[in-house]
Amino acid sequence: MADPTLDATDHEILALLREDARRTLSDIAGRVTLSTAAVKRRIDRLEEAGVIRGYTVQVDHAKLGWAVEAFIELRFLGTSGVDEIIQTTTRMPEAQAVFTIAGDPDALVWLRVRDMAHLQRTIDEIRRSHRVTSTKTLIALDSWQRSRR
């Protein structure tokens, strides 16, 4: 994919879509003072270039019964490769994201679980990996994300 040169209008369109991906082309056009067709062309170009990788919905996980968020620092045997580190948790439905890190720890895993007992079972499952040498768990009390309204 080409590396697009983004101007201020492209950034404004992206900000509007991050705020509400269901926003209509005409609404965006009115806010950035372009025609609907021009906005469509810009969005198509941003999608083609891979700047816009998709559209999603924000779910209230607590209402689905997965109210607890935690982060686990993982340390692995020195012979573990990055692929092994990532594969340790990606098969788990509780794992929301895995970040490999330069330095100590080796990885940070973002988990979402139903309750503390579920968190304990999940941590135990991770610890059973023969490559994990230690863990440290941090429980989130609240969160904020730039992409949220």
CATH number of 61-140: 3.30.70.920
Tell me whether the omega of the peptide bond preceding residue 4 falls within 30 degrees of 0, making it cis: no
User: Which tens digit of pLDDT belongs to each residue from 62-119?
Assistant: 999 999 999 999 999 888 888 888 888 989 999 999 999 998 999 999 999 999 999 9
- The pLDDT-based confidence of 147 (bands split at 50, 70, 90) is low
Cα(130)–Cα(133) distance, rounded to whole angstroms? Answer: 8
Per domain, the residue ranges of the chain are 8-49, 61-140
CB 132 within 8 A of CB 74: yes
Q: Three-state SS for 14?
A: helix
Cα(110)–Cα(5) distance, rounded to whole angstroms? Answer: 33
Task: Report the pLDDT value the prediction gives residue 15, as an integer from 0 to 100.
Answer: 94
Is 8-49's fold the same as 61-140's? no
Most distant CA pair in the chain, distance: 58
131 has a pLDDT exceeding 90: no
122 has a pLDDT exceeding 60: yes
Task: Report the pLDDT value the prediction gives residue 67, as an integer from 0 to 100.
Answer: 95
Cα(8)–Cα(138) distance, rounded to whole angstroms? Answer: 38
Residue 9's identity, in one-letter code, is T
pTM as predicted: 0.77
CB 134 within 8 A of CB 72: no
The class that CATH gives domain 8-49 is mainly alpha
For 113-144, the DSSP string reads ESSHHHHHHHHHHHHTSTTEEEEEEEE-S---
Provide the H-helix boundaries in the chain: 8-19, 25-32, 36-48, 82-90, 116-127
User: Which tens digit of pLDDT belongs to each residue from 10-32?
Assistant: 999 999 999 899 999 999 999 99
Q: Say how many C-beta atoms besides its own lie within 10 A of residue 147's C-beta.
A: 9
DSSP state of 75: E
